[in-house]
Structure 1
Amino acid sequence: MRGSLRFIGNATVLIRYNGFTLLTDPNFLHRGQRAHLGCGLFSRRLTDPAVPISALPPLDAVVLSHLHGDHWDRVTHRELDRATPVITTGTAAGRLRRRGFRHSVGLAEWQHHELRGPQGGVRITALPARHAAGPAEALLPQVIGMMLEFTDRRERVELRVHISGDTLLDHRLTAIPRRFPDIHLAIAHLGGTRLFGTLLVTMDGEQGASWVALINPHTVVPVHYAEYTASTSPLDDFRHHVEQAGLADRVVYLRRGETRELAPHHLVRR
């Protein structure tokens, strides 16, 4: 076994591969607690994380798509080791460094950061994402998607993992499959999250299915759905649309807390 992927809840995934341990968008609030979204907005959590933050293994880095309360919460801020590198947007990295996370690294679109280890490395590249349409985008935190490329000692890519980040389907995303035509695994942030009850800020099931067709990964794992009161698109909505699009065979559905093996070029299916 070269590694594993564990779904902890919301957009929080623990990725272990080739000697590296990475955590995505850490959210460890419990059921009933509020995630603060800025501008006086909040959303209440409907579930518990699969594990507490104290039960995590030592981390090589956190990969953070943006600084929203359901992706970086007060539990994380209080309990995460401040020496942990956080790879995120430029705006978020600046704020986190001022709060004591001094190894935070800010990336603009298409910039990358590399981690090296005895068995190889991982290259983390920031990708386009759009959290809202039109002028409303300026009201929300800067957001990026991520590409994680795990390489062997000879710097050959063994596993390429794309994390969508909180994004809507947008023309800017078309550059991703052009630059990365062979994506082994994609982690899709779904849920059809709506602010003020109307403003869509994450992909619903229909957009998610179109995103899978656009990004064209070998395998996709849906996350970030049905965990907060602001989510309006259940997983069955996505399931319906990927089936209609003939893409159902690409999707692996993980229960909260479930772990799957990662091997070169793929997520192991059961």
Structure 2
Amino acid sequence: MAAGKKAANRYYSGPPSDHFDGALFFNPDGRPPARFSDLLKWQLSGGRSKWPAAFPSPYRQAKPDKRIEGAGLRLTMVGHASLLIQTAGLNILTDPVWSERASPFALAGPKRVNAPGVAFSDLPPIDLVLVSHNHYDHLDLATLRRLKQNHDPLAVMPLGNDAIVGAAVPDMRLSTHDWSERVEFGNGAVIHIEPVHHWSARGARDRRMALWAGFVIETAGGKVYFAGDTGFHDGINYRLMAKKHGCFRLAILPIGAYEPRWFMAPQHQNPEEAVQGMRLCNAAHAAGCHWGTFQLTDEPIEEPAQRLAEALAAEGISPERFRAMRPGETWDVPAA
């Protein structure tokens, strides 16, 4: 059960549920975010690897086609958890961040070490934006303003995040939902809002006031699972996805920001756990994200891709089935 009520929720009010105690959201049978004292212990430990100031992608910036019709499925990596999904004539962005920093500050905080894999001006018409939660490396208000001005997409997000986005981008079209709800969209597409094991905060006094989620995109071409940001949580949510959705043509799974494990394990899975997650949710293919753009944690910059390759080899899975995506990389995902 979640901790007792600490403050009025500034983002959301509603009845208690199995993941909301009337004031704060929580992970059922899960672990809450670490205490501030644990954060200080980690920050003062001196274990952070030094990242290069620039880590250019081996791929040039992509120039996506306007649409991918029918059952085709094309995935283009922008960076971190920002990806362009094109299928069934729809263009969908996940957790779009084009800003230089994943931070509330213009001159401080994690700075990107490679350019976005698609120049903003080269984006095709964006129909739909999926926002998994409100951490700054996933919810970037400056980018959402630009998307509203240039594309006017529908933004789908879990409970409470509409208060944040609506205050900053008041005319943006928003669709806000609880876990296990669904949104019917054009071209026969359905977006399912699903549980993941994580948390939320924009500052020190709004922890867990907005919900976090993953998404399942269902079209005639198959199902795509975007896990957003998640801890492995004993595979509970992956098993739930398999039980509810059967199988996936593609799963987009985080593989970075996982060290040190004593601090990060509840909220950020590592590459080995991502491979297990791919198996547990019955994904034919997987794309690794959440690595190599913003330094958030201690591991070396290239370690997630290296450990992913080792984990796939240990499990006898072809590396072509699970790619550690790099900015500008485009993948025409085979049918399941």
> Deviation per CA, 1:160-195, whole angstroms, max 9, x where unpaired?
101111001122442111011121111112203459
> Deviation per CA, 1:29-76, whole angstroms, max 9, x where unpaired?
23xxx31279xx943322221123232111111011112211122430
Tell me the secondary structure at the aligned position of residue 272 of structure 2.
helix
Letter in 2 for 1:202: H
Give 1:149's match in structure 2, choosing from 195, 212, 218: 218
Identity %: 23
Q: Distance in 2 between matches of 1:37 and 1:176?
A: 33
Letter in 1 for 2:256: G
RMSD, matched Cα: 2.7
- For residue 230 of structure 2, what is the aligned residue in structure 1? 167
Letter in 2 for 1:177: A
Correspondence 1:257 to 2:333: no
Query: Against the structure 1 CA distance between its residues 192 and 243, is the aligned structure 2 distance closer, same or farther, given a 3 Å change threshold?
Result: farther
Query: Against the structure 1 CA distance between its residues 23 and 253, is the aligned structure 2 distance closer, same or farther, given a 3 Å change threshold?
Result: same
Q: Distance in 2 between matches of 1:21 and 1:260?
A: 15
Contact 2:85 2:91 in 1 (8 A): yes
Correspondence 1:186 to 2:251: yes
Give 2:188's match in structure 1, choosing from 93, 106, 121: 121
Contact 1:239 1:248 in 2 (8 A): no
Contact 1:86 1:93 in 2 (8 A): no
Give 1:176's match in structure 2, choosing from 229, 241, 246: 241
Give 2:207's match in structure 1, choosing from 139, 160, 176: 139
Query: Against the structure 1 CA distance between its residues 17 and 72, is the aligned structure 2 distance closer, same or farther, given a 3 Å change threshold?
Result: same
Moved more, 6-15 or 43-52: 43-52
Give 1:5's match in structure 2, choosing from 75, 81, 95: 75
Moved more, 87-96 or 250-259: 250-259
> Deviation per CA, 1:60-106, whole angstroms, max 9, x where unpaired?
11011112211122430341215321011111123212331441111
Correspondence 1:213 to 2:279: yes
Task: Give the superposition deviation at 1:128.
Answer: 1.0
Q: Distance in 2 between matches of 1:74 and 1:93?
A: 12
Moved more, 87-96 or 161-170: 87-96
Structure 1 or 2, whichever has the larger Rg, is 2
- For residue 155 of structure 1, what is the aligned residue in structure 2? none
Give 2:312's match in structure 1, choosing from 220, 224, 242: 242
Q: Kindly indicate which of the two structures has a greater share of residues assigned to strand.
A: 1
Contact 1:25 1:65 in 2 (8 A): yes
Query: Against the structure 1 CA distance between its residues 101 and 43, is the aligned structure 2 distance closer, same or farther, given a 3 Å change threshold?
Result: farther
> Deviation per CA, 1:186-239, whole angstroms, max 9, x where unpaired?
1112203459x9334321122212212211200111111122211435211122
- For residue 17 of structure 1, what is the aligned residue in structure 2? 87
Q: Distance in 2 between matches of 1:121 and 1:79?
A: 27
Q: Distance in 1 between matches of 2:192 and 2:290?
A: 21
> Deviation per CA, 1:7-39, whole angstroms, max 9, x where unpaired?
111111111112111111101123xxx31279x
**Structural mapping, 1:55-70, within 5 Å:** 55-70=122-137
Q: Distance in 2 between matches of 1:101 and 1:144?
A: 23
Contact 1:54 1:79 in 2 (8 A): no
Contact 1:110 1:127 in 2 (8 A): yes
Q: Distance in 2 between matches of 1:174 and 1:22?
A: 25
Contact 1:84 1:101 in 2 (8 A): no
Q: Which runs of 5+ in 2 are unaligned?
A: 1-67, 200-205
Q: Distance in 1 between matches of 2:280 and 2:171?
A: 35
TM-score after normalising by structure 1 = 0.81
Letter in 2 for 1:192: A
TM-score after normalising by structure 2 = 0.66
Tell me the secondary structure at the aligned position of residue 97 of structure 1.
helix
Tell me the secondary structure at the aligned position of residue 93 of structure 1.
helix
